[in-house]
């Protein structure tokens, strides 16, 4: 069998499509024949700043959707031919077989989920990183440690609330849906044009982040709703978003502020007793495994089927195969709003 990849041959280089090794899936892995690969902020940052990659040439791409081509030893969850989406973890393993921007990707079975026929590959490819990052922050014990969503909302959660700053982003869209599915009341921020969008995902209160009085308004709404704020998830993690989230959390007597990235703020205590933790790139280790099984085998797979999870935001599809990955990155750099760019490799 042959394989091709969009290679990043050096720091700051342009992607170039060339032959790549065809790797068999290892134990506990599946080999996915990719139909669609998605473009993420991290791909753009690595190409621009030369960060995180230890050796070149490297292959970017951290989420894919396609069909199972082969299953490795010990895999019982999947069979050849099934339609799936999955996380490509080459950054964690530095093993190019695990990279996304290629025709075939090896993925660990617990970071792969079947997709129903009602969901296209392009729609499914928007989910893996957003869902995994949101789930880590909300449910893993080292972060908020909330109970993962079950088939019905948790009975105790109805007076508990969370602030998700950046609800129309990909990670924010997933965080809203998962938090709402656990019964939490979701307060979020988005630009005005995306308020209906985030409400449709389950947010109860939405604030325009360009409003200079936004912190006051969020505080008043939390008090008015008579809810307990369990924490804030700062998906955007710019200096000002972090400060505003910290102010809200601090007002209620300290608590937890999660961020998707470090930015200029160190982790640790800030503003009184508000503790800021940065959610690490998701990868299923032993302690994280219970959350991963709940999310990938239950929430993603069954949630798409029974409507608890929507494949959102919508994809912007670029057709034309691996050659278009560079165009996808260039387009991402121009900015996206409640959308994810995906590249179609095969219909």
Ligand X SMILES: NC(=O)c1ccc[n+]([C@@H]2O[C@H](COP(=O)([O-])OP(=O)(O)OC[C@H]3O[C@@H](n4cnc5c(N)ncnc54)[C@H](OP(=O)(O)O)[C@@H]3O)[C@@H](O)[C@H]2O)c1
Interface contacts to ligand X, rule CB under 6 A: 40-42, 129-130, 133, 165-166, 168-171, 189-191, 194, 209, 235-238, 241, 260-261, 279, 281-282, 336-338
Shortest Å distance, C-beta 34 to ligand X: 19
Q: Which of 89, 87, 84 is nearest to 124 (CA)?
A: 84
**Cα–Cα dist 199/187, whole Å:** 10
Shortest Å distance, C-beta 92 to ligand X: 10
Q: H or E element: which one contains 250?
A: helix 239-251
Please classify residue 1 by burial: count the beta carbons closer than 10 Å to its beta carbon, then call 0-12 exposed, 13-18 middle and 19+ buried: exposed
Shortest Å distance, C-beta 8 to ligand X: 17
Please classify residue 294 by burial: count the beta carbons closer than 10 Å to its beta carbon, then call 0-12 exposed, 13-18 middle and 19+ buried: middle
Closest CB to ligand X among 183 and 315?
A: 315
The Cβ-side half-sphere exposure at 309, using a 13 Å CA radius, reads: 33
Closest CB to ligand X among 8 and 17?
A: 8
Shortest Å distance, C-beta 64 to ligand X: 15
Angle CA 114–146–189, to nearest 5? 85
Shortest Å distance, C-beta 4 to ligand X: 26
Distances, alpha carbon 57 to alpha carbons 34, 61, 93, in Å: 21, 14, 15
- Strand ranges (E), 135-210: 160-165, 185-190, 205-208
Shortest Å distance, C-beta 181 to ligand X: 18
Length reported for the chain: 347
Shortest Å distance, C-beta 194 to ligand X: 4
Q: H or E element: which one contains 215?
A: helix 214-225
Closest CB to ligand X among 84 and 129?
A: 129
Dihedral angle over CA of 320, 326, 329, 334, nearest 10: -90
Closest CB to ligand X among 24 and 49?
A: 49
Closest CB to ligand X among 68 and 138?
A: 138
Closest CB to ligand X among 38 and 68?
A: 38
Contact present, 108 and 29 (Cβ < 8 Å):
yes
Closest CB to ligand X among 104 and 195?
A: 195
For 190, phi then psi, to 5°, come to -165, 165
Closest CB to ligand X among 168 and 182?
A: 168
Shortest Å distance, C-beta 335 to ligand X: 7
């Amino acid at each position: 069998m042959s394989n091709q990849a969009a290679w990043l041959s050096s720091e700051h280089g342009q992607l170039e499509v060339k032959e790549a090794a065809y790797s068999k899936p290892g134990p506990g892995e599946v080999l996915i024949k990719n139909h669609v690969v998605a473009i993420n902020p991290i791909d753009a940052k690595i190409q621009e700043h030369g960060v995180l990659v230890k050796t070149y040439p490297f292959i970017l791409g951290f989420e894919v959707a396609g069909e199972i081509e082969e299953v490795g030893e010990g895999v019982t969850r999947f069979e050849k031919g099934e339609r799936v989406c999955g996380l490509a973890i080459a950054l964690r393993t530095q093993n190019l077989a695990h990279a996304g921007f290629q025709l075939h990707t090896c993925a660990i079975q617990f970071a792969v989920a079947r997709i129903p026929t009602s969901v296209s590959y392009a729609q499914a490819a928007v989910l893996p990183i957003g869902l995994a990052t949101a789930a880590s922050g909300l449910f893993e014990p080292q972060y908020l440690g909330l109970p993962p969503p079950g088939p019905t909302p948790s009975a105790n959660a109805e007076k508990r609330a969370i602030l998700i700053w950046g609800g129309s982003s990909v990670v924010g869209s997933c965080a809203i849906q998962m938090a709402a599915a656990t019964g939490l009341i979701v307060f979020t921020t988005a630009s005005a044009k995306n308020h209906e969008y985030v409400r449709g995902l389950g947010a109860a209160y939405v604030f325009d982040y360009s409003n200079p009085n936004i912190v006051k308004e969020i505080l008043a709404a939390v008090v008015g709703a008579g809810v307990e704020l369990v924490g804030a998830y700062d998906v955007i993690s710019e200096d000002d978003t972090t400060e505003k989230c910290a102010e809200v959390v601090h007002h209620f007597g300290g608590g937890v502020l999660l961020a998707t990235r470090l930015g200029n703020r160190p982790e640790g205590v800030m503003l009184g007793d508000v503790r800021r933790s940065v959610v690490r790139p998701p990868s299923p280790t032993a302690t994280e495994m219970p959350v991963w099984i709940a999310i990938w085998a239950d929430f993603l797979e069954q949630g798409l089927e029974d409507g608890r999870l929507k494949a959102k935001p919508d994809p912007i599809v670029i057709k034309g195969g691996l050659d278009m990955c560079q165009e996808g990155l260039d387009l991402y750099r121009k900015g996206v709003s409640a959308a994810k760019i995906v590249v179609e490799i095969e219909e």
